[in-house]
Amino acid sequence: MASSLKSDLILGIESSCDETAAAVLRGPKQILSNVIASQVPIHRRWGGVVPELASRQHILSIDTVVNDALRQSGAGLDELGGIAVTYGPGLVGSLLVGISVAKAIALVKGLPLAAVNHIEGHIQSIFIEPDEVPLPMMALVVSGGHTSLYLVEAQGRYRALAHTRDDAAGEAYDKVAKLLGLGYPGGPVIDRLARSGDPKAVEFSRPRMTDRTLDFSFSGLKTAVLRWVQAHPEALAGEPAGGPVAGFEPRMASLPGTTGRPPSGDVGEPASPAGETSQQVLDLLASFQETLVSYLVDHTVKAARLHSARSLGMAGGVACNTLLRERMRDAGSTLGLPVFFPTPILTTDNAAMIASVGWHHLQRGQTAGLALNSDPAARL
């Protein structure tokens, strides 16, 4: 591939939340290595990501992760053409770890540095594997921190059409799982357990926006689950150890900034198997998931029609969800549009997507200086 860079090898670094990740790509699509150190076991006992613990763990992991990514790719630092790093949105202390390491390597090796928006990274992950994607694409970015719709007009050209007004969809999954003592992260557990439940058993009303926007809201659904649990204490009577909690924000906060609960042994770990969960709870989970997924898909379809999209895409942790993938495929066939989503390892947080965006930035001569700082609330 023709390139203005010394080489097409880009090192990507991602540390915006609770995954320390590094990857080496040749150009925007060829992944030579993709290393991810997950912090889930550290945060699981708190039922959510503890920012202070996350940044400390990034500091401990980052050298190994970057070295592993380089070693697995077979490339040395001297062969790189550039470095890409996530500058936001995310947790400030976590972002700063990746940024510091990226800047240090860029300075020492005299390499150009690309500052990459994490959301742009998620959108780019949709484009890494397929040969060709018809544009414009209606892209749903749905994760633990974000639920947004973007019209992708070209690489690097996005129109933000909708965001969540409160919780993100993944956050709703995580909070419902916490409420039911099912462990963290909640999405994969609910995905699995909901298969044994009746999605029509509990009727949840859909959030409605009075101003006709395509924006999302998930806090009402989360509260409806809480109300149901309060009204059906018998459903949780047989829950496994670490079981139900009384509310969403339990009394705690010995660690600043956490939204989780205090450690009380192996809370929810391993996550409750279907056999130990009452049928009533399985039905509740299936109904919750049905409401959430159909809501996400309906908004995506509406937006796609409105903006004459030629394809549908989705990325971010919740895009791993089995029902969401199935329903989005169905929506695509109804609309006559192809649907794209990355393999799971590229769907959740990773550095390959960051390196891929970085390559495009550097091709366009879009570089960041060594004064680069984090922007925890960065928008795309």
- Any contact of residue 46 with ligand KG4 (CB under 6 A)? no
Per CB under 6 A, 93 contacts ligand KG4: no
**If binding is defined by CB under 5 A, does position 143 make contact with Zn ion?**
yes
Minimum separation from the CB atom of position 144 to ligand KG4 (A): 3
Q: Are strands 147-154 and 157-162 parallel, antiparallel or unpaired?
A: antiparallel
Amino acid at 216: F
Q: Where are the beta strands (DSSP E) in 49-146?
A: 82-88, 113-117, 137-142
Residue 51 binds ligand KG4, judged by CB under 6 A: no
Vertex 120: Cα angle to 176 and 302 (nearest 5): 65
* 39 lies in the site for Zn ion, by CB under 5 A: no
Q: Which stretch binds ligand KG4 (CB under 6 A): 107-115, 140-148, 202-210, 335-343?
A: 140-148
Among residues 51, 82, 183, 317, the one that binds ligand KG4 under rule CB under 6 A: 317
Q: CA–CA separation, 7 vs 27, rounded Å?
A: 9
CA–CA separation, 177 vs 198, rounded Å?
17
80 closest CA partner among 109, 46, 39: 109
- The answer to whether residue 239 forms part of the interface with ligand KG4 (CB under 6 A) is no
What x/- string results for residues 336 through 365 when contact with Zn ion is judged by CB under 5 A?
Answer: -------------x----------------
313 forms part of the interface with ligand KG4 (CB under 6 A) = no
Least distance in angstroms from the C-beta of 134 to ligand KG4? 25
Stretch that binds ligand KG4, among 102-110, 253-261, 266-274, 317-325 (CB under 6 A): 317-325
The span from the CA of 235 to the CA of 225, in Å, is 12
89, 121, 187, 242: which one contacts ligand KG4 (CB under 6 A)?
Answer: 187
Q: Contact between 199 and ligand KG4 (CB under 6 A)?
A: no
Q: Which of 280, 273, 250, 272 is nearest to 262 (CA)?
A: 250
Nearest approach in angstroms of CB 267 to ligand KG4 is 16
- CA-to-CA distance for 86 and 374, rounded, in angstroms? 8
Smallest separation, CB 348 to ligand KG4 (Å): 3
Which residues, including other chains, have CB under 8 Å from residue 131's CB and lie 6 or more apart?
Answer: none
Measured from the CB atom, is 80 or 324 closer to ligand KG4?
Answer: 324
User: How many binding residues for ligand KG4 (CB under 6 A)?
Assistant: 19
d(CA 352, CA 198): 38
Give me the phi and psi of 104, to 5 degrees please: -60, -45
Cα end-to-end span (Å), the chain: 28
Interface with ligand KG4 includes 318 (CB under 6 A)? yes
Show the tokens assigned to 58: 């990034």
Positions that interact with ligand KG4 (CB under 6 A) = 17, 143-145, 170, 173-174, 185-188, 191, 316-318, 320-321, 348-349
Positions that interact with Zn ion (CB under 5 A) = 143, 349
